[in-house]
Amino acid sequence: MSNEIAVQHGVIPHEVHEHHDVHHHHETFITKYVFSQDHKMIAKQFLITGIIWAIIGGLMSVLFRIQLGYPDVSLPWLEDIFGHWAKDGKIQPEFYYALGTMHGTILVFFVLTAGLSGTFANLLIPYQVGARDMASPFMNMLSYWFFVLASVIIMASLFVQTGPASGGWTVYPPLSALGDASQGSKIGMDLWLVAMAMFVVSQLLGGLNYVSTILNMRTKGMTMTRLPLTVWAILFTALLGILSFPVLFSGFILLLFDRHLGTSFYLSDIVLGGNILPNEGGSPILYQHLFWFLGHPEVYIIILPTMGLVSEVMSINARKPIFGYMAMIASMFAIALLAFLVWAHHMFVTGMNPFLGSVFVLLTLLIAVPSAIKVFNWLTTLWRGNIRFTPGMLFCVGFVSMFISGGLTGIFVGNSTLDMHLHDTYFVIAHFHIVMGVSAFMGMFAGVYHWFPKMYGRYMNNTLGYIHFWVTLVCAYVIFWPMHYEGFAGMPRRYYDYSGWESFKHFVELNRVISFAAILSFLVQLLFVYNFFYSIFKGRKVTSQNPWGANTLEWTTPIRPGHGNWPGEIPEVHRWAYDYGKDGKDFIPQTEPVGKDESTH
Amino acid sequence: MSTHVPAGYKWWTGGKSPYNVSYGKLMMWIFLLSDTFTFGALLISYGTIRVSQNYWPDPNHVFNAFPLMGHTNLPLAFVSLMTFILIMSSVTMVLAVHEGHKRNRAGVEKWLLWTILGGSLFLSCQAWEWTHMITGSHAVLIDGQIKEIGATITQNPYGAAVPGLMHDGHQVTTPGPVGFGGFFFGITGFHGFHVFSGVCLLVLALVWTRIGKFDNLGHYEMIEKIGLYWHFVDLVWVFVFLCFYLI
């Protein structure tokens, strides 16, 4: 750099550095483990909170799968635990709806948004861009504690007399707007809305930090096109969140007004319990638009980070450069852009103008193009690779398998004509659980197994990891594959008991198989949880700085890095992150200068 | 601050901030982008509901009062004054930022005070306008009876005129669409809350300036960041003004 320009060279990283050095010496238990401002600790906090939520949300699905698989069986122990919610050992309808609603809310927002992005954005951004910490460690801490606040509120809603929100995770009005409409529309619904408002604040604080850290605090030589794909994925995820959560927030404000101040934003011409309500002029469809303007980008907020994690872990374990690095970035950009233009495909059956519907069909099907580019890039990365089947790598392969299976059915439901038939059936359940539920979990597990050594300085147990992977993969297909048939046959989602319906009672046996697989897959996740916590304390110790032979910067830090990550200067970057198997070398870290006679990639 | 940068200088190579923007200012910009979507969603919701109605009140008729002027018909006069005050407060904010660049503490304090005054005046005007609308009494034909009501989030007196029906020398109307009050108080209230937050930030900045915090830091960037927010809130008002008062 020439001397004549006075750019703020390294000013900000140094400020952060000094700041941390000052604090490093008098850390207490509270500042180190509770109100920590260290990105690594905040990542662990997000991960463990996410795991707790995943257990709770998963357990809920086990409970409603018991109802669906064994609708005529009475289990007295249920009543012992849940009291009048499971009267006579049978899950009551209100309980069933509450379970479904909270399962969706918890898994979508608290596990796969906060638990996933919160963990890996915090862990990987400073490590991989070469920064001592986030741009604002304080805001980062606030982001986590707003998430905890949201968690506490939503947890409290599980224990109120009338139960938590029960109108489905999308909380459509008028059901959600009228307290007298159902049990779950009372205080539980208010707690849900307040919790989600806190959640949006948490996402905003986190997102601002992620974007500004990635743009502003890259180490010397780390151009945007040398960033690992994980960081690119998190950048797009953060931008999606920053631009779509505020719209949801606006929608919630209006919903709260309708609930408590008597406004008519979403309400019109309603008769409730024989009474004509005074509300007029509002539109429940308006809420659906506001909700899905977030709701659709939200599914990419869930899947994009895992795409980044999978790309990185896959390239490392195939010992090959990721295929089509620039195409990966371009396709993520295309997905992020299209994410904002397709929300109304969730609303084909609301009476939408068919012409408008056809526009949304076109834009929706366009997403298949960047998605397919990514899939082919992963397959070509695996092609003739020198693959190491670590648990992380297996989950990467599982991710691609799930993403293909779920992506293909997306073409079905993205088509408005087919969607008329498939809307609100088990086909949709199968589609989105495979493509953003199981896929995202696969990607997240890949990330956890792979970066566990960096987080805790120990390995997770491989054997348990393999059992975890194979049982999860098989169960996922056993659970969701048959649901496609049920959906084609018109079996609607959210029903309490199918055995009484002439059209669907022949599915009772199939439902039992699904329930069995669901319970088994829940148990095997507990095996993962056991592996995770056992390995934190008793896992095999990491002895080398770079156990996977990876190129990125986090593996140039000490095995157990202190606050500030690098004891000395932050390393300078000279190349992209994917020089594996190049010029006869197994791997060349980003910090190694480009040799004179080295071929360019 | 104007530094000569040679053509072809590479900003994105890492080790420095692209375009020399501090992370704090970058965060403020991105936050404002996010907040744009909050207001955008609210205003678009308002638009959708409004165009779905058969009738919508004429703003020239609704907003025609001025303090101490009794029933004189002064369409949009008061809101024009409010808008003028808010825009002037943006001007004084610019001057505060300018003094901050020169590190002139007294200048910053002076212009911050003017900005705080402008913001507070705007909020006072809004309080008056709300009070006037809520406590107003307009003759409205409801269920066959003439009632005198004001505008709130659940009722709207500004409906279509009932031909030939007068009450105390005033034209009697039918109830207007209730969405009017909901969106008007909801959105101007949400904007007012932003102005209020801005005034709080400005007061905080004034205290920090007075105790010499920015002189110790060596720069007045905080004033700049609050300035960005203040101008944004001003800009949002222009859209609120357009959507509720002009259209």
Domain count, chain B: 1
CA distance A108 to A110: 6
The three-class DSSP label of residue A272 is strand
Q: Output the six-digit token pair for A118.
A: 């919160």
- Asked if A320 and A377 touch (Cβ cutoff 8 Å), the reply is no
Would the CB atoms of A222 and B14 count as touching at under 8 Å? yes
User: Taking the domains of chain A in order of start, what are their residue ranges?
Assistant: 34-271+279-587
Which of B37, B197, B232 should one mutate to test binding to chain A, selecting the residue with the greatest count of A CBs within 10 A?
B37
Q: How confident is the model at residue A147 (pLDDT cuts 50, 70, 90)?
A: very high
Select from B247, B241, B243, B244 the least CA-distant residue to B81: B241
pLDDT tens-digit series, residues A495-543: 999 999 999 999 999 999 999 999 999 999 999 999 999 999 999 999 9
What percent of chain A stands above pLDDT 90? 90
Instruction: Inform me whether the pLDDT recorded for A379 exceeds 50.
Output: yes
In-domain check, residue B26 = no
- Asked if B45 and A265 touch (Cβ cutoff 8 Å), the reply is yes
Contacts of A223 in chain B (CB under 8 A): 12-14
Contacts of A18 in chain B (CB under 8 A): none
Partnered with residue A492 across adjacent β-strands are: A425
Q: B60 phi and psi, to 5 degrees? A: -60, -25
Would the CB atoms of A5 and B5 count as touching at under 8 Å? yes
Residues of chain B under the 50 pLDDT cut:
1-2
Instruction: Inform me whether the pLDDT recorded for A46 exceeds 50.
Output: yes
Range of the domain at B55: 44-132+185-246
Nearest Cα of chain A lies from the Cα of B142 at a distance, in angstroms, of: 13
CATH of the domain at B108: 1.20.120.80
Average pLDDT over residues A264-276: 93
Of B30, B48, B186, the CB nearest to A211: B30
Does B208 lie at the interface with A, CB-CB under 8 angstroms?
no
Does B17 lie at the interface with A, CB-CB under 8 angstroms?
yes
pLDDT tens-digit series, residues A448-501: 999 999 999 999 999 999 999 999 999 999 999 999 999 999 999 999 999 999
Of B23, B153, B154, the CB nearest to A217: B23
Nearest Cα of chain B lies from the Cα of A224 at a distance, in angstroms, of: 7
The single-letter DSSP state of residue A567 is: S
CA distance B245 to B247: 6
DSSP per-residue letters across B125-189: HHHHHHHHHHH--EEEEETTEEEEE---SS------EEEEEEETTEEEE----THHHHHHHHHHH
Would the CB atoms of B52 and A253 count as touching at under 8 Å? no
pLDDT tens-digit series, residues A417-441: 999 999 999 999 999 999 999 999 9
**pLDDT at residue A601, rounded to an integer:** 59
Residue-averaged pLDDT of chain A: 93
pLDDT tens-digit series, residues A57-96: 999 999 999 999 999 999 999 999 999 999 999 999 999 9
Which of A209, A210, A216 should one mutate to test binding to chain B, selecting the residue with the greatest count of B CBs within 10 A?
A216
Nearest Cα of chain A lies from the Cα of B151 at a distance, in angstroms, of: 12
Instruction: Inform me whether the pLDDT recorded for A138 exceeds 80.
Output: yes
In-domain check, residue B219 = yes
**pLDDT at residue B16, rounded to an integer:** 84
Start-end of H helices in A86-165: 93-105, 116-129, 137-157
In-domain check, residue B114 = yes
- Please state the ipTM of this predicted complex: 0.93
CA distance A215 to A237: 14
**pLDDT at residue A7, rounded to an integer:** 41
Average pLDDT over residues A325-330: 97
Nearest Cα of chain A lies from the Cα of B72 at a distance, in angstroms, of: 31
Which of B1, B9, B42 should one mutate to test binding to chain A, selecting the residue with the greatest count of A CBs within 10 A?
B42
Of A4, A209, A246, the CB nearest to B4: A4
Of A213, A245, A257, the CB nearest to B186: A257
151-190 in B: which are within 8 Å (CB) of A? 153-154, 177-179, 181-183, 186, 190
In-domain check, residue B223 = yes
**pLDDT at residue B39, rounded to an integer:** 97
- Asked if A258 and A190 touch (Cβ cutoff 8 Å), the reply is no
Q: Select from 3.40.50.9100, 1.20.1090.10, 1.10.3720.10, 1.20.210.10 the CATH code of A34-271+279-587.
A: 1.20.210.10
The three-class DSSP label of residue A276 is strand
In-domain check, residue B79 = yes
Rg (CA), chain A: 25
Would the CB atoms of A212 and B190 count as touching at under 8 Å? no
pLDDT tens-digit series, residues A556-601: 999 999 889 999 999 999 999 999 998 889 999 999 999 887 876 5
Residues whose CB is less than 8 angstroms from the CB of residue B139 and which lie 6 or more positions away in sequence, other chains included: B146, B147, B148, B167, B168, B170, B171, B172, B173
Nearest Cα of chain A lies from the Cα of B87 at a distance, in angstroms, of: 26
**pLDDT at residue B17, rounded to an integer:** 86
Would the CB atoms of A278 and B154 count as touching at under 8 Å? yes
CA distance A570 to A590: 13
Average pLDDT over residues A40-51: 97
Buried b (16+ CB within 10 A) or exposed e, A364-395: bebbeebbebbbebbeebbeebebeebbbbbb
Would the CB atoms of B4 and A5 count as touching at under 8 Å? yes
**pLDDT at residue A422, rounded to an integer:** 96
